[in-house]
Amino acid sequence: MNAIKFFRIQSVSIFLLFSLLLGCSKKEVVEETPLPNPNIILIYTDDQGYGDASNLNPGAKFKTPALDRLAAEGLTFTDGHCSDTVCTPSRYGLLTGRYSWRTHLKRGVFTAEKPCLIEDGRMTLASLLGDNGYDTAMVGKWHLGMDFPGTPKDRDWSQPVQDMPLDKGFDYFYGVPASLNYGILAWFEGRYAAVPPTVFTAKKPNDRHMDYRIMPPYQNTPEETKEVVGTQGMEVAPDFIDNQCLTRFTDKAIEWITDQTQAEASKPFFMYLPFTSPHYPVCPLPEFWGQGEAGGYGEFMIETDYHVGRILDFLDKRGLAENTLVIFTSDNGPERSWEQRIEEFDHDSSHIYREGKRSIYEGGHRVPFYMRWPARIPAGQSYNHPVGQTDLLATFADILGVALPDEAGEDSVSLLPALDNPSINLNRAPIINHAMNGRYAIREGDWKLILPNGDNQRELYNLSDDPGEETNIFGQQPGIEKQLEERITTIVKNGRTTSGAPQSNDVPWWPDLTWISN
């Protein structure tokens, strides 16, 4: 090889090597450049069981293509839990990162008209994000208490509603105060209803399900409603119809996001979208009748999934999907009609898990739970260790790079490491389950200890061997039983699950803490 040719080859090699190194350097710079804060959409269904998602339940008698898409394009938490087994306390835990049983609400749910369970000054998902540059909105069902002007017999709807989402960190609100069976039903926007709830109604027969409907005709007084329907009337707006909720809520959510993203100096946005389905009344629109093989309930779930799909399609069309974190989950397990669906349609809304809404068993609180964020979360992955909805506050804070104060998110553990690497085990602190009747359980790893309550004694299950909680093995693992009871006692008494300064529960001791001495 002559010298000139050798020199040329060496020059090309050096150039290629330099280019490769430069390319690697550029790639490293790109990879290390932090993503802009993502938009966040949190979709929350009402009484949807684990088995009501076709990707989680191969035996489901209807398909949920939008949820299947979230699973295929994002991360599925196969062991995800709501913070309680009924509406109000679950929503408190979701929004605050603190268990509701630490408040004065120990059992049951709120009516529509109550002082809000989220006290003034308590950090919420909305206030955290709003304080860090986000526009925030809530569209849908609140069910944490509102202060309405006047009394049922003497309302002044020209006055604003107080102690509601706009007072808890949200910039915009459109929706209904609570479950539809509690009344004060109107399409509230901000602090007012365009058409106030000035007439009355009660539950009416439902042709498509075993529950009820909230639909015209309405009466002028509660007494007239009792004469017509047989039950004292609740407040409703003349233009309110139960089966319009899902369409109106999805329309408003899309409208608000469109407005925010069209602004010249648009900020990242947070949309909390709690649907009213498939909670009673089960009222699918006529275009969904006959779909699926699980009667009216299946039709209602198909309609719900359709509106989730509308949100995903909208993000695609607006070019927002890549850096939008979409979270989907449910407030608790399925309503008692799950028993009827097994018998009539062979569809189990709890899948392989025991019981449903209100129950301390897995069917009461293990729920569908997905996250999709194409810019960051690997597609089609699953995380198979226990996580809770209370974990969202710490996760959002971690995404933003901010620290939570001691008095916020006391029961919240960041899931961000699992979003980046779903194969890891966070080894998070135990999760506390809580039933409507006040019964407690602690979950750590595969072990679940249920504490005594009334006539119910302690129960122990290894969920890897017995996911259906069929065989109580309490007494066979004394070391584990003692350790779990000590852990839940510490979590209760310290006012927090996470590390940090101990906090006070709103009540120092209450009778459901049967294993802790007063």
Q: How far apart are CA 45 and CA 194, in angstroms?
A: 25
Strands 234-236 and 199-201, bridge-based pairing: antiparallel
Residues 248, 250, 254, 256: what is their CA dihedral angle, to the nearest 10 degrees? Answer: 60
Q: Cβ distance 321 to 195 under 8 Å? A: no
* For range 293-321, the mean pLDDT: 98
Confidence of residue 265 (pLDDT cuts 50, 70, 90): confident
pLDDT exceeds 60 at position 21: no
DSSP 380-401: TEEE-S-EEGGGHHHHHHHHHT
Tokens 């607006």 identify what position? 318
Closest by Cα among 280, 140, 276 to 208: 280
Q: Cβ distance 409 to 389 under 8 Å? A: no
pLDDT exceeds 80 at position 6: no
pLDDT exceeds 50 at position 269: yes
Q: How far apart are CA 321 and CA 34, in angstroms?
A: 18
pLDDT exceeds 90 at position 80: yes
Tell me the angle at which helices 295-318 and 245-262 cross, rounded to the nearest 10 degrees.
10
Q: What share of the chain is helix, strand, coil (3-state, %, to 5)?
A: 35, 20, 50
Structure confidence at residue 13 (pLDDT): 44
CATH code of domain 39-420: 3.40.720.10
Structure confidence at residue 145 (pLDDT): 98
Closest by Cα among 215, 273, 275, 270 to 239: 215
pLDDT exceeds 50 at position 30: no
pLDDT exceeds 90 at position 17: no
DSSP 175-231: EESS-GGG--BS-EETTEESS---EEE--B--TTSSS-B--S--BSSHHHHHHHHSS
